[in-house]
Amino acid sequence: MAADLATLAEPYAARLRRADTLAEPGAPGEMRLQALWRDGRLPAGLALPDGTPLEVLDPGRWNRGPGPDFLGALLSFGGAIRRGDVELHLRPADWDAHGHAADPAYAGVILHVTWAPAPEAKTLPPAVPTLALRPFAGRGGPLALDALPGPDAPAPRPCRARLEAEPGARDRLLAAAGAHRLLAKSRAFAQALRVGDPFQAFYEGLLAAMGYGRNAAPFRRLAREVPFARLEGLPSLRRLAVLAGVGGLLGEDRRALWDLWWGSGFPPPLRPYAWDFRAMRPQNHPFRRLAGAVGVLHHAGALLDLPLDGLPKALSEASRTLCAALALKGAPIGANRANAIVTNLFVPYRIALGTLGAEHLRDLPGEDVSQPMREAWHRLSGALDGLPGDGLRQQGLLQIHADFCANPALSCARCPLAGE
């Protein structure tokens, strides 16, 4: 079944292979960005995304060791003068990838400077603004990178003209890019299926998804420290007791579960789990999410056989089964989250198992529309509304955005989606 998906994805994969040969020599690397910042060779009229004018009074001391790239910079945020550190990256999400949020050396950062405006950072402290330079390129000043257009460039993107010249071309491209993305996700599962317990990878993915981003890491650690093989055969309540006990999520108010865990022979962890409880509403507590995951695990066999169009609702209902038994109100997996879990977990896993092919993907439900989806759609179509509602084409938008539009080494002029 993966073969027909690969056929669907191939036109996109071919364009992507060309991108590797077309990376723009003039696109700035991180060192070049740092040199521009150090020398003050920045365009005029810099402003933060909310419109606050930004003036660099002193770029700070270039730090070539561990910690932020520039220390002790003096900046004017709309007239308010602040001194602090500055970190530079090519893309905002590099902040997450480099793990700066967990490093106290970065606590003094007052500005995050990037080349591209996306993909956005998820762990950047809300008080630290991001200044993306690419939208200012070509507006004069010494940062003369006119060939790299910003998202507000007035001219239509070249991909749009090409796609509009051929009926159905945009639709086919989005489907191919979506299939490419789902196939790529399925490869991690396929690898896990070859080397270990076939269900362990699904179980890990499910628990990580219940972390909703900020608690994904401790949830994934829990799934590895309590592998599914050790839970098999246990009733759901005992599974929850073990997972919550090992994860340090049981308090005095859950004495019965504590006793179940204590009698199970699973020891406490050697080091505590790093749950993030900041500003957390009770319904988002990891214990409740864990109860939802255990409910889903109980019904996993049936859920993995369901057609995609009915799966999100069934998934949401399965997540509430154990919660109902514990008098926890509501469904830990709401409608939008269920769609995302189907797309990012069930579909890739079933592709890897060989039980899902290209013909099933037209029923893939759509997720919440995100900023990268909006931006890619606007570039490809020139429209702000009318985004595809189905999951396959939404995945295609995300893939095109990541591979081409937010690729700091590639400009529209050199984009493989713009020409032959």
373 makes contact with ligand SF4 (CB under 6 A): no
Q: Name the one range near ligand SF4 by CB under 6 A: 86-94, 328-336, 340-348, 399-407.
A: 399-407
| Binding residues for ligand SF4, total number by CB under 6 A | 11
Going by their DSSP bridges, the two strands 70-77 and 80-89 should be labelled as antiparallel
Specify the DSSP element, H or E, that contains 57.
strand 54-58
Q: Which of 345, 404, 408, 409 contacts ligand SF4 by CB under 6 A?
A: 404
**342 vs 230: CA distance, rounded Å:** 25
Minimal distance in Å, beta carbon 158 to ligand SF4? 5
Tabulate helix, strand, coil % of the chain (nearest 5): 50, 10, 40
323 or 415: whose CB is closer to ligand SF4?
415
Minimal distance in Å, beta carbon 405 to ligand SF4? 4
Q: Which of 364, 405, 408, 409 contacts ligand SF4 by CB under 6 A?
A: 405
| Angle, alpha carbons 35-36-37 (nearest 5°) | 90
Site for ligand SF4 in 156-175 (CB under 6 A): 157-159
418 makes contact with ligand SF4 (CB under 6 A): yes
Which residues lie across from 73 on neighbouring strands?
84
Q: Which long-range CB contacts under 8 A does 46-50 form with residues at least 24 apart?
A: 46/131, 46/136, 48/77, 48/129, 48/130, 48/131, 49/117, 49/129, 49/130, 49/132, 50/129
356 makes contact with ligand SF4 (CB under 6 A): no
CB within 8 A of 420, min separation 6: which ones? Answer: none
Residues 264 and 238 sit within 8 Å (Cβ to Cβ): yes
Distances (CA, A) of 238 to 250, 253, 259: 13, 17, 10
Q: Name the one range near ligand SF4 by CB under 6 A: 70-78, 215-223, 297-305, 397-405.
A: 397-405
| Residue 66: both structure tokens together | 């561990």
Binding mask 123-162 for ligand SF4 (x = CB under 6 A): ----------------------------------xxx---
226 makes contact with ligand SF4 (CB under 6 A): no
415 makes contact with ligand SF4 (CB under 6 A): yes
Q: Name the one range near ligand SF4 by CB under 6 A: 234-242, 255-263, 268-276, 411-419.
A: 411-419
Minimal distance in Å, beta carbon 60 to ligand SF4? 32
192 or 412: whose CB is closer to ligand SF4?
412
Residues 149 and 411 sit within 8 Å (Cβ to Cβ): yes
Minimal distance in Å, beta carbon 46 to ligand SF4? 23
| DSSP 8-state class, residue 156 | P
Residues interacting with ligand SF4, by CB under 6 A? Answer: 157-159, 379, 400, 404-405, 412, 415, 417-418
